[in-house]
Amino acid sequence: MADRADVDGVRTRGRVDGAVRAVTVEAHGIDVIGDADRKGRPRQLFWPWFGANVSILGLSYGSFTLGFGISFWQGLAAGAVGIVFSFLLCGFIAVAGKRGSAPTMVLGRAAFGVRGNRVPSVLSWMLSVGWETVLTTLATLATATVFTRLGWGGGETTKVVALVVVAVLTVGAGIGGFDLIMRTQTVITVVTAVLTVAYVVLVADRIHWEAVSDLPSGSAQQVIGALVFLMTGFGLGWVNAAADYSRYLPRSSSGRAVVGWTTFGSSLAPLVLLVFGLLLAGSAPDLNKSIADDPIGALTTLLPTWFLVPFAVVAVLGLVGGAVLNIYSSGLALLSGGLRVPRPVAALIDGVIVVLGTCYLVFVSGDFLGQFEGFLTTLGVPIAAWCGIMLADIALRRRDYAEADLYRPSGRYGDVS
C-alpha cells in the first residue's frame, strides 16, 4: 500500500505482510483503514474486550454498589442492567467502526462536524487518560500491599518500581499499536481468567448468605444512583473508544456479530465479578472501609500467603489490560482533537501524563475513592450526551461514511454542526 498522509498531517504506511506486522509499530493514525489492511472476524473482538474488563477491580465494585445503601438483590439488578446495557451501547458504536474503518472520534465528525468534533475529542481524551491513571494507580497500590504482606517491603521504593513496570507495559503496548494489543489481550485474558477463578475458589468460604440477605433495601433514588454509577464505571467509560478495534474488520462483517461479540466480551467478566463482589462485601462490612482506601489491595486480606504472588499477577495484568486499550484510544482521540504528531508519539505523551497523575494519587492524595467518584461524575455526563448523539447518527445513517469528508471541513459533514 502506498504512503498516504491523513488530513491531520500524520504520514502513515500500510503493510500487509504478516511478518512485518509482527515486529513493527502500527503505522496507522487516524486515517481510514484501507481494504488491504482489513482483516479478522467479529468473534475476535471478544479477546480485547474481555481482557480489558476481567479485572479484580470488578469485585470492588460490589462494595461500591452496596455503599449506596441498597440490598444485594437491588445491587444485582442495578449491576445486570447497568453493565449489559452500557456495554450494548459500545456494541452499537462498534458497528460504526466496521462501516467507516476510522477511529471512534473521527467518525463522530459526521455528527458534530470536522472541527466541531474537537471538543468531544478532547473530552474523550480526558476520560481515557483519567481511566489510565486510575488503573495504573490501582496496580501500583495493589503491588505495594502484596509486598507488605509478604514482608518484602511495600514502601515508597516498591511503589516507584511497580509504577515503572506498569507504565512500561502499558505505554509499550500503546505505542506498538493494534496488532500487539490484540495479541497481548489474548494472553491477558487467559492468564487473568484462570487466576481470577482460583481467587474466587479460595475466598468462597468467606461468603455468609445470612449476612448478605439481611442487608436492608434502599430507596428508588439509591438504586438509580447505583445504576448510573455502574453504567458510568463500565460501558459508558468505553463508548468513546468502541469503534477503535472494529475498524480493522472487513466491511462485509456482520453488524449483529460485531454488536454481540463486543457486548458479550465486555460484559461477561464484570457481571460475574460484581455478583461475587456483592456477596463478599455483604458478608464482611469491615471490608468495605478497606476497599475504599485501596480497592485492590484490600482483597489480599482474604487470601492465604502462598497465593499473594499469583494475586499480584492477576491484579496487575487485569488492570494493565484495561489501561492498554485506554492509552491506544486516548492517543487516537488526541490526534482527532487536532494534535499533529504520529500516533506512537501521542501514546507516549499520554503515558507521561498518566505517570504524573499516578504519582499524585499514590504519593500525595490520600482519598482515592473520593477522587474516583468525582472523576466519573464529572466526565460521565458529557460523554453520555455525546453517546446519545452518536447513536442517533448511527441509527439514522442509511449509507456508509463519506471517508474523505471526515477530514475536510468543506465536505458533506461541514466544519461545525
Q: Is residue 17's pLDDT more than 60?
A: no
pLDDT for position 367 = 64
Task: Work out the average pLDDT over 203-218.
Answer: 93
Provide the 3-class DSSP secondary structure of residue 4: strand
What does 73-134 look like in DSSP terms, one character per residue? HHHHHHHHHHHHHHHHHHHHHHHHHHHH-S-HHHHTHHHH-TTTTHHHHHHHHHHHHHHHHH
5 lies in some domain: no
pLDDT for position 369 = 58
Q: How confident is the model at residue 329 (pLDDT cuts 50, 70, 90)?
A: very high
356 lies in some domain: yes
Q: Is residue 346's pLDDT more than 50?
A: yes
Task: Work out the average pLDDT over 397-417.
Answer: 88
pLDDT for position 86 = 95
pLDDT for position 4 = 38
Q: Is residue 9's pLDDT more than 50?
A: no
Task: Work out the average pLDDT over 119-127.
Answer: 91
Q: Is residue 15's pLDDT more than 80?
A: no
**Which helix (H) or strand (E) element contains residue 5?**
strand 4-5
Range with the lowest mean pLDDT among 39-43, 244-248, 396-400? 396-400
Q: How far is CA 387 from CA 82, 90, 167, 235, in A?
A: 15, 9, 29, 11
Q: How confident is the model at residue 289 (pLDDT cuts 50, 70, 90)?
A: confident
Q: Is residue 20's pLDDT more than 60?
A: no
Average pLDDT, the chain: 87
Q: In this structure, are residues 218 and 74 in contact, taking their beta carbons and an 8 Å threshold? A: yes
146 lies in some domain: yes
161 lies in some domain: yes
Q: Is residue 368's pLDDT more than 70?
A: no
Domain range for 313: 42-397
Task: Work out the average pLDDT over 307-324.
Answer: 88
12 phi/psi in degrees, rounded to 5: -130, 160
268 lies in some domain: yes
**What is the total count of domains within the chain?**
1
Give the CATH number for residue 167: 1.10.4160.10
pLDDT for position 397 = 85
Report the chain's C-alpha Rg in angstroms: 21
Range with the lowest mean pLDDT among 6-20, 84-98, 289-303, 345-359? 6-20
Task: Work out the average pLDDT over 126-141.
Answer: 88
pLDDT for position 256 = 95
Q: How confident is the model at residue 380 (pLDDT cuts 50, 70, 90)?
A: confident
pLDDT for position 373 = 66
- 386-398: pLDDT as tens digits: 999 999 999 998 7
**Which helix (H) or strand (E) element contains residue 12?**
strand 11-12
Task: Work out the average pLDDT over 97-101.
Answer: 92
33 lies in some domain: no
DSSP state of 301: G
- Determine how many CB atoms are found less than 10 A away from the CB of residue 414: 17
Q: Is residue 19's pLDDT more than 90?
A: no
122 lies in some domain: yes
Provide the 3-class DSSP secondary structure of residue 43: helix
Q: Is residue 88's pLDDT more than 60?
A: yes
Contact partners, residue 259, CB within 8 Å, separation at least 6: 88, 91, 92, 94, 95
Q: Which residue has the higher pLDDT, 11 or 39?
A: 39
pLDDT for position 7 = 38
Share of the chain above pLDDT 90, in %: 51
Buried b (16+ CB within 10 A) or exposed e, 202-212: bbeeeeeeeeb
8 lies in some domain: no
pLDDT for position 22 = 47
